Structure formats: C-alpha cells, structure tokens
Structure 1
C-alpha cells in the first residue's frame, strides 16, 4: 500500500467534499503531495461503516449541485484520494506508525467543539476521552522520539488563527510529556492558519456528500509552507483576516441568526432554502445585514466588498438544489453564537466604538443567561 503523506483527523462530510475531493482531482494530474490516511477520533461505532467506506478502492461520490455564475451545475465526482481509514480507538498503534513514518502534512476538522478541553486531558497516557488537541499531543510523541522529522499541521476547524489555536492547546499537554518534545513542536512543526468555505448540505451513504459548486480553501502564506495540492479552490493569501471576517461574520453569522430564530419559533422548515423561500424571513435577514452587519465593514472601507459578498451569500442560502439542514447547522449552537455573533460584535466595536446591533446583541445576551 502506498505511503500516505497526508493524514486527516476527522471523517466529516465537509472534508469529503472539500480537501479530499480537491486532493483527489489534483492526484489525477500529479499535482498533489499524495494520498490520505483518514483517522476517526471520536471512536463512535455508529460511524464505523462510513470510516470503512472512505478507503474503498473504487472511492466515494461527491455530487456538486447548484448555480455557478448563472450556470447550472449538477455532476457527480468520485473521490479516490483516501488510501487508509483508521480509528484512534481501535487502531492507535497504526495511527502512531503512520504519523511517525509517513506523515508530512496533518489536516483536521473535528469541529470547534473538538478543541474544547476535557477532564481526561491531564492524564499521563493517551485516552479516548481526551480532546482532539490532547490526543494529537500523545499520538505525535513517537514521531518525536523516533526521528523528530519536521511536520506541517494545518487544521480546517472554523476558528480564528486555527493553526495557532491548535498549537496553543497541544503545547501544554506536550510539556507534561517532555520539555524537549514541546520544544520540537514549537520549533520544528509548522502550524498553518487556514480558512475553508463550502456548504455541504447532505450525506450520501455510506460515504460522500452533496455540495454546492462554490468552494474556497484559503491558506495563510508562511515561510516553509507546503501545499497539499494544487487546485483552483486553494488560494494562498497574505492575510487571512479579511477572508475570515467576510465568511465568519456574514455567511456563518447569517446561518446562526436563521437557526436562532428558527429554534425560537419552532418552525416546521427543515432546510435553509425553505427559510429563504419565505419572503418575510429573507427580507429580515437582508435587513439584518444592511442595518447591523454592513456598517462595521463600511467603517473599515470594505463596504463594496461586503455588499457583494452579502448578495452572493443570500443566493447561496437560496440554492434550490441543496438540502442544507437547519438541524445540522444547529449543532453546537451556543458555541457558534459566541464565535460568530459575539465575535462580530467585538469586531464591530473595534471598528466603531459603541457600535449598536440590537438584534445580534439580544441573541448574545440570551445565551449568556
């Protein structure tokens, strides 16, 4: 079996329709670093069938549906970039071997919730009950002890400066294992910040997903950066901040705002597009953007850019071909309110001291109670 220079933590449908698809397409032209080992970190037996299906030789399908610059897209693409599928619960020795002997780049998408500290993180040995950063600290120790080869880690979780955030969670755990190990992680491992953007609306079984045509993988430029592949959706940028604020405080904030109102109204809609079919709801979201979001971007001289992104976002939400489930967006809702709405209000108050956004402030206050 071929070596897998890319190791991916997380089996999410998002990564299947994003990084896994991009790397698969690039491999066909010899423009990718190599195939992928996917590692399930949750140990959830209910996802065992999905995990196994990711690495079948025939691959898994991703269906791309929607409108791209007015052109209807509806095609199926087969992803064959995943060579091995392992679990930290059942295959830990092999996970450690792949990380030690094969890995050049680590990807992850364990959700924002996966970064949260857990009581088990302070334990002296690996535990399946640990958070993802703590697990990673223990899993990489054998690489340090055996060969200490440099490594690149580029998380895809939707967190500000996600590479730096993951590093900050891993280092304290590593320090308890060995000061030299922590120093290696600090000096020889490249922690890359990136931002991902693609709406993945529904699963295909046992693996695969339905997704929109739009896709972005923005990677922050840094010394020594190695790209996992070459692909039109992958862009190296000097400053992720501008990209991040647009996505997080317009598209993601819009999702969280819609879900907050949907939950409170106990609405019968199942999908984002159904909310957008309601003219009252669509107008309310548009007004929120115009009254409470756009002025913050305008204060930074980004009014035209934000206005275009708002229009694009509303069209993406209304995509008639995607069943983007509100229940899926509602997962970890409290954390998303803090990150997206609380984060925006901090951003806005920095741009305009005393900034007022009554509807967003009310949502944040409800979740602080």
Structure 2
C-alpha cells in the first residue's frame, strides 16, 4: 500500500491541486494530535467554504518532535471523526491539506525567523502544554533556538518588529486560565531579559492583539489499534491520521477590538464552526469544567465502586444515567452564571459526548489524581450550592464520600488509587483514627481549606460512609437517581 503523499492524494481525487499555492496565514507552535485535529481541521473547513484561502505553517516547539514525519507525507494527513451528532452515529474521514509548510527551528533557525517576513501571515496559535507558557531561566538571547516557547516566539516577534511590519493576532490554546495575558507577560519578561528596549515592548503592546482562548474537542489521536483496517478503507498508508469527536468549541475572549479582529481574520462562523467571541473565557471555562469534567470525576468515585469501568457503561445504565443527569441539572446548572437555556443545551451535548460508542473512556484513567480533580471540578460547586441557598448537593457529597471510602482503604483492590504519594499517605494515616472524617476534611494541606467549616458537610459524609459500610453504594445511587 502506498504511503500518503501529494501524488497519491491527487490520484485519488482527495486534495485541491491549488492547496499548496495558498498563502501562509497562520503560524502554529505545536504539531501534535490536538492542534492537527482542531486548528488545521477548522482551517480546512474554512478553505473548503472559500472564506479563508490560507494555510498553516507548523513549527516544532521541542527538539524531539513530529515535523519530519509530517514532511514524509508532504504535510498531508487524515482526520477521522467518530461520535454522535444529534443522536446519530457519525463516522467520517477527510484529507487535510491546509499545512503549507513545516519548520524545525532546531535545524533551520533562519527559516523559522523568516516566517515573520510574510505580510500575509497574521495569526499565531500555539499548544505547547500547560507548562509551555513559562519563561525558561536558562534561555539566552544568543540561543538558536532557545528552549522555551515564549523565547522562541519573542525572537519571531522581534524579527517582525525589525522589519517595521504590523504585529499578529496571538491565540494561545494552552489549557491554563487567562492564557493570553500569561503569554504576554512571559514575552515582556523575555524582552526585558534580552535587553531589547522600550521601542520593542511598545510595539508589542501597540501592534499585537493577545486573546485568551478555551478549546474543547476530544482528540484521542492516532488510532493504533485499528490503523491497518483504516488504511485499507482509505486506500493509503497514513502515519499521521488523527481521530477526533464531532463536537468542537473554540471560545476566544478579548475586548471589542480584539473580537472584531478575530472575526475578520478567522471567519469561522461563516463555515459553521462553533467559535464564540466574548469578553471573558471564565464562564465558558466554568461550564466545561463543571458540566463535563465534574460528572467525570463523580463517575470515577461513585460508579467505580458500583463496578463500572467506562463512561459509556455508566451512561448505558438507566439508574447511573439518571444519577449523573440529576447532578448536572440540579446541582451544577443552577449555580452557573451563563443563561440556563445555554447551559442545558451544553449539558445535552455533554451527555451525547459521554454516549460516544467509538471512545472507551476508562474510569480508572479519569480517576488519576482524584483529589486534585475533586478540588478543582466539584468542591467549588459544594461551596456555590451552600452560598446560594441550595443546600448541600447530595450527589457531589456522595462523590466526596466515595473518594474518602476509596482513599481510606475501604474499597480494597476493587478501585485503583493513582495519586500524589503525600496525599495517599495522609489518607492512610487518618484512616486509622476514630475521627477519620473530621480529621481528613479538616486537613487544609489536602483541600486548601478546612472543609469541616462547611455547614453539615461532615455529618453528611459520615452518614454516607456508615451507609456504605452497611449496604454498599448501590442503594445510595438508587435513592439519588
């Protein structure tokens, strides 16, 4: 079977012969599965609709990356969408021909800097992991390239400044809060350390637009298990194909000027792409964290004790599905700031994503670092419900109780514990005491605060633990379903 390259794609009628002649409009730091299943897929849809007419230049941000593998296929690859849409199974594939160039700055530093010289290129996107937007203290102005992403980007921007050219729309996709301002601050720090002066910093402020973003699409990545079968169906060998779910959301936040620039330079809505421009990402981040990740964390505690292994199994069980749905509708949506109808529509979409028959999402995987996940995804909802007069959220409190049951060693080998050893040890020490619940909930080193100060929480958790000891978890699930 032939390896995917342009000649193969043209022969099969899968690519536009004009694709390679499109100008580079986006510089992308990161060549991993997520960006190729998200940004490049979006650009492909815009090009298909004739509303963009541009390609992406992909920059390898780390020394060991995938640029060479992309080049081996002349930057072509396949995105396979699998999931549910409007309740119906979706399984489709599309050749992506929207990467116009790849650059490895570790091998071609001048070629990397030259990306800044093209006036058609006006957007920069990145996904360099959550740790990527941080200044590397070892980076020097003479490094070619420096190790850190902010320093690499700073050099690119300095080249643009030295050419007296306009700046960029800069759209970081790293999964950290306020990623736009965080990247801006990192660039200022780099510029000051490198001694590039006030004129450059003023240009950085004046000519560049930094926005914060939230990206949402499950991208499982390369389908190792069924690659050979897929190659047979595609008619070519593709070492870079990417699986993704149909659902996609890109939230971009900035002031009104920034929002207009996003709509002008990246007219995603004209291609039917769900790109939302707004003043602040936080309400949408909360919506995702609490309505998608929150129920996941509940499942990892409650459902695992009931013997479930995957998200799909949970949603296929009538009682567990009702339990999770009521958690979303009664304990999460009422304490969010976005309009109720919008939250309910998102919750419907989340349940459809949970139902995805093509993805076996392991509850053990979701249960990794359960304590920190509970703190970020569910604990704020306990506080919000109490503060807004809704009382203790019973299903979330049961999830907390099950977490204490598991980490206290009561679940035996039935549920796997994978967490920071200090956290695990703290639970083990407390579990040997008569006042286990009081002791563990009061431990601010674990939770960041004393949870016994939340009215009624200690008593509710203790009752749940007593019931778990007497009857097991199923009667508790049945009562709250």
TM-score (norm 2): 0.62
Query: C-alpha distance in 1, partners of 2:370/2:164?
Result: 42
Instruction: Tell me: CA distance 1:100–1:61, structure 2 relative to 1, closer, same or farther (3 Å).
Output: same
Shift of the alpha carbon at 1:184?
A: 1.2
Q: How far apart in 2 are the matches of 1:285 and 1:251?
A: 11
Go from structure 1 to structure 2 and tell me whether the alpha carbon gap of 1:210 and 1:353 turns closer, same or farther (over 3 Å shift). same
Structure 2 residue aligned with 1:66: 83
Compute the displacement of 1:244 (Å).
Answer: 2.9
Q: Distance in 2 between matches of 1:216 and 1:175?
A: 36
- Within a 5 Å distance, the mapping from 1:255-270 to structure 2 comes to 255=296, 269=309
Answer yes or no: is 1:217 the counterpart of 2:250.
Answer: yes
RMSD of aligned C-alpha atoms? 3.9
Cα distance in 1 for partners of 2:131, 2:300 equals 18
SS in 1 for 2:239: coil
Q: Tell me, yes or no, if structure 1 residue 243 matches structure 2 residue 284.
A: yes
Q: Match of 1:109?
A: 127
Residue 422 (structure 2) aligns with: none
Q: 1:260 to 1:7 in 2, by over 3 A?
A: farther
Give the match's secondary structure for 1:38: strand
Q: Which residue of 2 aligns with 1:273?
A: 312
Report 1:220-235 matches (<5 A): 220=253, 222-223=256-257, 225=261, 226-230=264-268, 231-235=271-275
Distance 1:257 1:100 in 2: 50
Query: How many equivalent pairs are there?
Result: 359
CA contact (8 A) 2:67 2:103 kept: no
Greater fraction strand: 1
Aligned to 1:154: 171
Shift of 1:323: 4.3
Deviations 1:275-319 (A, max 9, x none): 64567765664465456533422xx47444434433331221221
Matched residue, 1:296: 335
Aligned equivalent of 1:22: 42
Q: Show the 5 A alignment for 1:1-369.
A: 2=21, 3-45=23-65, 47-52=66-71, 56=74, 59-102=76-119, 103-121=121-139, 123-126=140-143, 130-177=147-194, 178=196, 179-204=198-223, 206-220=239-253, 222-223=256-257, 225=261, 226-230=264-268, 231-241=271-281, 242-255=283-296, 269=309, 272-274=311-313, 276-277=315-316, 285-286=324-325, 288-289=327-328, 292-297=331-336, 300=337, 302-324=339-361, 340=377, 344=380, 348=384, 352=388, 358=397, 359=399, 366=446
Q: CA offsets per residue over residues 127-150 of structure 1, 9 Å max, x none? A: 767432233223322221222422
The aligned counterpart of 2:428 is none
1:126 Cα shift? 3.8
Q: Aligned in 2, Cα 1:146/1:237: closer, same or farther, shift over 3 Å?
A: closer
Q: Name the CA shift for 1:167/1:116 in 2 (closer, same or farther; >3 Å).
A: same
Displacement of 1:105 after TM fit?
A: 0.5
CA distance in 1, matches of 2:389, 2:191: 40
Task: Give the direction of change, closer, same or farther, for the CA distance of 1:130–1:289 in structure 2 (3 Å limit).
Answer: farther
The structure-2 alpha-carbon separation of the partners of 1:141 and 1:311, relative to structure 1 and needing over 3 Å to count, comes to: same
Structure 1 Cα separation of the partners of residues 308 and 146 of structure 2: 36
The answer to whether the 8 A contact 1:33-1:228 is kept is no
Give the 3 Å change call, closer, same or farther, for CA 307–31 of structure 1 in structure 2: closer
Structure 2, unpaired ranges of 5+? 1-19, 224-237, 405-443, 450-481
Q: 8 Å contact 2:113–2:155 — kept in the other structure?
A: no
In structure 2, what is the Cα distance between the partners aligned to 1:346 and 1:289? 13
| Equivalent position SS for 2:220 | strand
CA apart distance, 1:106? 0.5
Cα offset for 1:9?
Answer: 0.9
